[in-house]
Amino acid sequence: MRSFILSISFLFVYTCLQAQSGWWPNGTESDDHSVYALRNITLVQDHATVIENGILIWQDGMVTASGKDLPVPPAAVVIDGRGAWVYPAFMDLYAPGAGLEPLKMPEKQRGGYAASQSTARASNDAIRADVRAVSVFTGGGDAMEAYRKLGFGSLLSFVPEGIISGTGALVHTGKKLPQKSIIREDAAMFCSFEKPASAQVYPSSLAGAIALLRQTYLDAAWYAKYGFKKETNLSLKALNDHAGLPSLIATRDKWDVLRADKTGDEAGFQYVFKGSGTEYQRAAEMKATGGTFILPLQFPAAFDVRNPELTREIWYSQLLHWEMAPYNPALLHKAGVPFCFTLDGLKDKNQFYAALRKVKKCGLPAAEILKALTHTPAQLMKEDRAGHLRKGAFASFFIFSGDLFRENSWNYATIVQGEAVFMKAYPAPDLKGSYRIQLGTEKTYTLKIEGEPDKWNLTLSDEAGKKGKAQAQFKDPLLELQLRLPEDSLGLFLLTGKVDAEGNLSGLGNDPDGTINIWTAVKNKEAEKEKKDEKEKTDSIPPVPYPFTAFGSPEPLPAAGRTLIRNATVWTNTERGILTNTDVLLEDGKIRELGTNLPAGNARVIDATGKHLTCGIIDEHSHIALSRGVNEAGANISAEVRMSDVINPDDINIYRHLAGGVTTVQQLHGSANPIGGQSSFIKLKWGRTAEEMKLAGADGFIKFALGENVKQSNWGGGRYPQSRPGVEQAFEYWFTRALEYEKSLKSDPATRRDLRLETVLEILRGKRFITCHSYVQSEINMLMQLARRYGFRVNTFTHILEGYKVADKMKEHGAAASTFADWWAYKMEVNEAIPYNASILTKVGVLTAINSDDAEMARRLNQEAAKLIKYGGLSEEEAWKTVTLNPARMLHLDKRLGSVERGKDADVVLWSANPLSIYARVEQTYIEGVCYFDRSVHEKQQEILAADRNRIIQKMLNDTDVRSGKAAKPVKQKEHHYHCDDLEP
């Protein structure tokens, strides 16, 4: 091994001499054209090919031959590998800022509503497609050193700022000049949903980021066809110039992957996804994207769970993710998802090999791990010179002391383009085990070695078990031992030797009388095999719940079958009224029949004697199950923003709503803008994906807003409008712009498609319907008058706490009212609200509903409806319709929802008592015939959940950081419930 170390050291020194190659030297440097041959190695030629006693030959930075029993060129510099393992260098496709000049970016701040830069680039600071990492590549910095140390020979570096942040450069990690280190100048386009450091406010939400990305792709297509004739836009030009490159997009969670995939599908290309480590939670959906993933190797740290009171603050999903995150690669591999790995996100880069071994222990085969670090990234980059060590490959590899996946093996040299760029001194070997040692005679002894390298504890004994004494030290490259035999406590044997590839020891030694003898120590292979077999056992993979949180199911719920609910009191919401002792048959997602003594056939029968059956509650105004922002406040209009882009199916409030009988909600944009974002309608199908939850075929709705929030009474101050009259003028401006846009579309085929104006035009043409946040009667009148002037109708005024003052005008206009039962005086503009508002509106003839606008209140909307009996004297059926049929009519969903009658969606709720009673509890909630909430199952789940929490906590108690006291203590967490006026930080 000493000759090997010296040879590689020479290669390292020669590399240093070549540092200025390519320039006129101030000395006698010259290019190295030597042939090198590394032999007697275990050659990992590629991820699937391992060659024992192999040889690797290279020259001028390229592999010229590799394999077994190859002739060595006569003039080659031959290096004896002495059993070392040689691997093709790794490739990382997500290396933000690696080897680039330090970035000089402004601090993040709010305040600007226009782009801060004044060059011929995109109108939004977040679109930086014209940025090229290659233009600031130097190859230096600590990041590159970390990559070299860990065996990476190439990486894809980029400037990590922007929703489109420009092209990355594929580069070698070596120490050659940048001119000789660049493999490909523009190798991929990088994207994300993250706003860069910029004073420009837009986008201020995830929904806004997606809308901006969508619009930018449309703009690029327009620019390629028409725009380049009218203007110069360097960002759009760059997007088109690099349209053939892979597009990599960073994601925060598995739902971001699906959002990105849909955005890419709309634009006509396939993303490569930089993952978050949560992809295993929806492996089938990840497979369906058709994309390749770049996975992190940072796994969640354990919590300090020694304090039971603090431990209660840890959410079950956090505990479960801690346990399951290391299985992410194995589960994706099982699902057939292609992926590679990245160092990005790994807090301690020295844990890289430990992470790989952990991934292997969790079920991913070693060959697949190597594939993810070599073949797959090279294939993505269409770079056939990387990812293997066959002829024609880059001579980029690293040299390991043994199998990379064996504990206590290490990397002691990384070669990039044929030059050593990292070396590690040969450390003391791991000698733990039992040996049969022979000291030049026929008599043998047992030598047992325990402890860490160079801190060994040795025990020498004869066949009778009598003990001697032994010590050992490692002095590179030799092992030195001193032995006193059991039968000779005075004589001292002095031995020196080496460790071979099989782990055996041998060398020369002096007997107590000075005689020089050969000695050998053969390792007990049977004990090692048992130990190896024990170590190589992989952990069984726990089941993944759907959704990945408390009260999830171990597998997705089955499709709807046949269910017969027998002998219930049925609130039909039709002219039939309330029916007693009635059967309802649910079949294939629909209400098939109502009657008495209906034949059950093969249906599951539910005895509902003494119970009440209603249709599901519909919440007209909800902000649950949304991710990273309910307001896009970066502009006074955000009509291009879609709440359907940011549905969060894991929100526990979905389950809580089901427990309160809610089956459908309108997910509204907030009230930060006069014209806000587009609404989303979802059915609360707990455990399903966002796409499965969406209510197909629903009319398009959009949020408008009036009053304090819009004019920034309590936030901001730099954005138009700042007054109530200004709000009216904002509407006027955008309506006028939309009409001009319509004319331009008809007259000029080169008109740029504008998603914002397109949506406003839908409103004016009666194709999209308004839900308007409103309080004060003067503003309500203003908007109705404005609507009449432009020829459309305001569909719904939501909140509408002064609606009782203008009920007659609302009826005349045809506007509906969605209000609170008894909220008032919580801010200045609602000081004149009264609890009789809903009843007055109903009696005047205005279609009226009760909504929640609150995740907590929605769980008891049945009780909110009951208040209308007290405040205004509505009948039970009239009151009940305010949370069922009336919002269904309001949202144009009454052909499918809102009543219990034949042919409608089987969205029904079984109550323990009259649903308007404060004592009524939901027993079961069905959506399209599938039971998504069952109280009896829920009670059992609570027990299962408690037991599983305790199981994981007990497992976490054995974590090294927990035992040592290094684990972070849990902190109290608070769920964030979005409301109309919430802004993202």
DSSP string, 171-240: EE-SSS-HHHHEEEEEEEEEE-S---S-SB----SHHHHHHHHHHHHHHHHHHHHTGGGT---HHHHHHH
Kindly tell me if the per-residue pLDDT of 563 is higher than 80. Answer: yes
pLDDT at 559: 80
Please say if the pLDDT value at position 642 is more than 80: yes
Rg, C-alpha atoms of the chain: 35
The two structure tokens encoding residue 416: 């990039």
Q: How many Cβ atoms sit within 10 Å of the Cβ of residue 816?
A: 25
User: CA 900, CA 904: separation in Å to the nearest integer?
Assistant: 7
Identify which of 215, 240, 95, 228 has the alpha carbon closest to the alpha carbon of residue 163: 215
pLDDT in the model for residue 17: 46
Q: In terms of C-beta density within 10 A (0-12 exposed, 13-18 middle, 19 or more buried), how is residue 938 classed?
A: middle
Angle (nearest 5°) at CA 837 between 834 and 840: 135
| Helix orientation angle between 316-324 and 935-956, rounded to the nearest 10 degrees | 50
| pLDDT tens, residue by residue, 903-952 | 999 999 999 999 999 999 999 999 999 999 999 999 999 999 999 999 99
Say which amino acid occupies 842. Answer: T
Of 654, 466, 644, 464, the C-alpha closest to 547 is: 654
Residue 354's SS3 state is helix
Residues 361-420 pLDDT 10s: 999 999 999 999 999 999 999 999 999 999 999 999 999 989 999 987 889 899 999 999
The pLDDT confidence band at residue 431, using thresholds 50, 70 and 90, is confident
Q: What per-residue confidence (pLDDT) applies to 7? A: 55
Strands 612-615 and 908-911: antiparallel
- Beta strand 493-499 with 35-46 is unpaired
CA dihedral 904, 905, 909, 910 (to 10 degrees): 70
The tens digit of pLDDT for each residue in 726-765 reads 899 999 999 999 999 999 999 999 999 999 999 999 999 9
How confident is the model at residue 6, as a pLDDT? 45
pLDDT in the model for residue 104:
67
H or E stretch including 962? helix 960-964
- Confidence tier at 528 by pLDDT (50, 70, 90): low
Q: What is the mean pLDDT of residues 793-797?
A: 98
User: In this predicted model, which residue has the larger pLDDT, 489 or 468?
Assistant: 468
Mean of pLDDT values over 334-346: 98
Q: Is the pLDDT of residue 48 over 60?
A: yes
Please state the pTM of the whole predicted model: 0.92
What is the DSSP secondary-structure string of 20-31? TTTS--SS----
Calculate mean pLDDT across residues 131-149. 95
- Are 813 and 785 in contact by the 8 Å Cβ rule? The answer is no
Cβ pair 116, 162 in contact under 8 A: no
pLDDT value at position 557?
75
**Bridging pattern class, strands 62-68 and 49-59:** antiparallel
The two tokens of residue 935 are 């109280």
Q: How far apart are CA 868 and CA 825, in angstroms?
A: 19
pLDDT band of residue 2 (cuts 50, 70, 90) is: very low
Cα angle at 796 between 922 and 214, to 5 degrees? 90
* Separation in Å, CA 291 to CA 155, 188, 340, 359, 544: 20, 15, 12, 21, 22
Q: Which domains does the chain have, with CATH numbers?
A: 433-535 (2.40.128.120), 670-676+698-897 (3.20.20.140)
CA distance 787 to 906: 37
Output the six-digit token pair for 638: 């955000």
Tell me how far apart the alpha carbons of residues 15 and 180 are, in angstroms, rounded to a whole number: 13
Residue 16 vs residue 34, higher pLDDT: 34
Which pLDDT tens digit goes with each residue over 706-719?
Answer: 988 788 767 666 77
Please list, in sequence order, all residues whose beta carbon lies within 8 angstroms of the beta carbon of residue 752, skipping any fewer than 6 positions away.
218, 219, 222, 226, 227
Query: pLDDT tens, 445-467?
Result: 899 999 887 788 999 898 888 89
How confident is the model at residue 949, as a pLDDT? Answer: 96
Residue 631 has a pLDDT of 94
In a 3-state reduction of DSSP, which class is residue 258?
helix
Q: How confident is the model at residue 527 (pLDDT cuts 50, 70, 90)?
A: low
The Cα-based distances of 400 to 56, 397, 403, 582 in angstroms read 14, 10, 7, 75
Confidence of residue 29 (pLDDT cuts 50, 70, 90): low
DSSP 643: G
Q: Is residue 19 scored above 50 in pLDDT?
A: no
Each residue of 492-520: pLDDT tens digit?
889 898 887 678 888 898 888 888 888 89
- Length of the chain, please? 985
pLDDT over threshold 70, residue 985: no
CB-based contact 470:447 (threshold 8 Å): yes
Amino acid sitting at position 70: L
> How many Å apart are CA 673 and CA 637, to the nearest integer?
6
User: Can you tell me the mean pLDDT for 456-484?
Assistant: 87
**pLDDT-wise least confident of 317-331, 531-545, 582-596, 766-780:** 531-545
pLDDT of 52-65, one tens digit each? Answer: 999 999 999 999 99
C-beta atoms surrounding 928 within 10 Å: 18
Q: Look at residues 759, 692, 691, 698 and name the one whose alpha carbon lies nearest to residue 262.
A: 691
What integer best gives the mean pLDDT of the chain?
92
Banded pLDDT at 429 (limits 50, 70, 90): confident
Percent of the chain with pLDDT over 90: 76
pLDDT at position 1 is 40
**Prior bond of 203 cis (ω within 30°):** yes
Dihedral over Cα of 755, 760, 765, 771: its sign: positive
- 8 A C-beta contact, residue 64 and residue 373: no
- Which regions of 279-405 does DSSP assign to beta strands (E)? 293-296, 339-342, 397-400
Is residue 342 within 8 A of residue 296, CB to CB? The reply is yes
Q: Which of 14-18, 540-544, 795-799 tops mean pLDDT? A: 795-799
